[in-house]
Chain A
Amino acid sequence: MAGRLNRKVAIVTGAGSGIGRAAATLFAAEGAKVMCADLNESGVSETVSRIGASAIAARVDVTVPAEVERMVASTVKAFGKLDVMYANAGIGEAGNAIDLTFEQWNRMIAINLTSVWLSSKYALPEMLKAGGGSIINQSSLAGLVGIGGIAHYSAAKAGVIGLTRQVAVEYGPKKVRCNAICPGTIFTPLVETVWSKGGGVAGGGADMEETKKRSALRYPMGRLGELADCANLALFLASDESSWITGYAVPLDGGMSAA
C-alpha cells in the first residue's frame, strides 16, 4: 500500500485518548511506526493494542525533561530514527484572569507550553541527524482569538504558536519543519473538563448535549470538530506533501476565526 507516511517514525504525545489516539491510529494506518506516549498508561496501552505491531507505548509525563528525553531515546532505539513529532498532549481547565491561582497558571504553562518546547528540544537533534523532519505542535483556536473563561490556556496555546514560528525559522535550513494546529471545539475529555466549569465558546454548562448544540452554532460550518478532522490535518502536516509548509498556525475551526 502506498501509505502517506511509509517508512516514517513518529511520536504522538497524548496518544491515550481523543485527538492523540486518532492521530496515532491514522499515522500507523498510513505506514508509520508510532511511539504512543501518554501519562495515562491504560489509555495508551489500549491505543497500542488497537493499532498492533507498528506501535509501542510509553508512560510519559511531558512536563519532566528526563521523561521526554527518554521518550525520544526509546523511540530511536526501537525504530532507528525520528521523522515526526506530534506534541499533542495537554490539559483543559477553566479559569479567568482574576480567579486563577498562581499554581493553576504554572501548571497550565508547564503542561501545555513547556512540554511542547521539551518535545522539540529532544526531537530536534534526532531530526537533524535524519536530515529533516516535521514537528506538529498542538495549539488551539484560543491561541488565535480570545475565548471566555480560559486565560492560562489561551496564553499557553498562543505561546505554542510563537515557539512554532521560531523553530520553523531556525531549523528550516536544516529541513526540519514546524507547524501548529489550532483546533476549535472538538469534543474530547479536555473540552469536557473546560465546559463543566463554564469555559468555551458557548459559555459551557453542565448539560453537555445542550452545550454541544449551542457551541456548534458558533461555527460557520454549523458543527463541532471531529477527531478525524484533526488527525487528517496532522497527517498532511506530517507527510512530505506539506514539505514547503512551515511556521504556520493552521486554524481548524469550521471558519470561526475568519468571522
Chain B
Amino acid sequence: MAGRLNGKVAIVTGAASGIGRASAELFAAEGAKVMCADINGALVEEVAAGINAKSAGAALPLTVDVGQPAGIERMVADTVKAFGKLNVLYANAGIGDAATAESLTIEGWNRMIAINLTSVWLSCKYALPHMIAAGGGSIVNQSSLAGLIGVPSLPHYAAAKAGVIGLTRQIAVEYGPKGIRANAICPGTIYTPLVATVWERRGVGYGASPGASLAEQKKQAGMGNPIQRMGEVEDCANLALFLASDESGWITGTAMPLDGGRSAG
C-alpha cells in the first residue's frame, strides 16, 4: 500500500483518547511506526494494541507525564531506540480547564502553562536533535482556536495556546534550514475528553443554552461555525497527517485554523 507516511517514525502525545488517538491510528494506517504516549498508561496500551492488531509492530505504548522534562526526554530516547529514528512529532497532549482571569489561581495558571505550553517546547527540545540527525522532520504542535481569537472562560488556556503558535513560528524559522518544519493546528470545538472537562467546569458548552441536554449543547455549539457543526477527531487527524507527510514539504511556521470557518467571520 502506498501509505502517505511510509517509512516514517512518529511520536503522538496524548494518544490515549480523542484527537491523539485518532491521529496515532491514522498515522499507523498510512504506514508510520508510532510511539503512542499518554499519562493514562492503561488506555494508551489499549490504543497501541488496537493499532498492532491491524498492522503488527506499528505502535508502542508509553506512559508519560508531559509535565515532567525527564519523561519527555525518555519518550524521545525510547522512540529512537525502538524504531531507529524520529521523523514526526505531534505534540498533542494537553488539558482543559475553565476559569476567568480574576478567579484563576496561580497554581491553575502554572499547571496550564506547564502542560499545554512548556511540554510542547520540551517535546521539540528533545525531538529536534534526532530530526537534525535524520536530515529533517515535521513537528506538529497542538494549539487552539483560543490561540487565535478570544474565547470565554479560558485565560490560561488561551495564553498557553497562543504561546504554542509563537514557539512554532520561531522553531520553523530557526530549523527550516536544517529541513525541519513546524506547524500548529488551531482547532475549534471538537468534543473530546478535554472539551468535556471545559464544558463541565463552565457548566455549559459554547454558544449553548444552560440546562440543554449534552446532545443539544453539541448541536448549538456547532451552529456558531459557518460550517454548522462541531469538529470531529478525524478532521484534526487528517490535517495532522497532511502536515506530517511530505505533501506539505514547503509549509512551515503556519498556525492553521481548523474551525469550520469561525475565525474567518
Establish whether residues B250 and A236, one from each chain, have CB atoms under 8 Å apart when the complex forms: no
State whether the Cβ of B251 lies closer than 8 Å to any Cβ in chain A.
yes
Q: Are A219 and B248 in contact (CB under 8 A)?
A: no
| B256 interface residue (CB < 8 Å to A) | yes
Does A244 lie within 8 Å of B260, measured CB to CB?
A: yes
Cβ-defined contact, A220 with B252, below 8 A: yes
Q: Are A258 and B265 in contact (CB under 8 A)?
A: no
Minimal beta-carbon separation of A65 from chain B (angstroms): 26
B interface residues, Cβ below 8 angstroms from A = 168-169, 172-173, 176-177, 179, 181, 188, 225-229, 231-232, 235, 238-239, 241-242, 247-254, 256-261, 263-265
Name 21 interchain pairs, CB-CB below 8 A, sorted by A: A168-B226, A169-B264, A172-B227, A172-B228, A173-B228, A221-B177, A223-B250, A229-B248, A229-B249, A233-B248, A241-B242, A242-B235, A242-B238, A245-B239, A246-B227, A247-B264, A248-B264, A251-B251, A258-B252, A258-B253, A259-B253
How far is it, in angstroms, between the C-alpha of A50 and the C-alpha of B173 when the chains are bound? Answer: 38
Tell me which of B226, B250, B260 contacts A229 (CB under 8 A): B250
Q: Which of A173, A219, A245, A255 contacts B258 (CB 8 A)?
A: A245
Interface size on A, residues (CB 8 A): 40
In the complex, residue of chain B having the shortest beta-carbon distance to the beta carbon of A259: B173
When each residue 221-251 of chain A gets 1 if its CB lies under 8 Å from chain B and 0 otherwise, what string results? 1110110010011011000011111111011
- From the candidates B176, B232, B261, name the one contacting A221 in the complex (CB within 8 A): B176
Whether a CB of chain B sits under 8 angstroms from the CB of A148 is no
**What 8 new A-B contacts, CB under 8 Å, besides A244-B258, A248-B264?**
A168-B226, A221-B249, A232-B247, A244-B188, A244-B229, A245-B239, A246-B261, A259-B253
Partner of A220, one of B176, B231, B235, B259: B176
SS class, residues of chain A in contact with chain B: mixed
A177 close to chain B: CB less than 8 A: yes
Minimal beta-carbon separation of A136 from chain B (angstroms): 14
> A236 and B242: CB pair below 8 A?
yes
Q: How far is the CB of A227 from chain B (nearest CB, A)?
A: 11
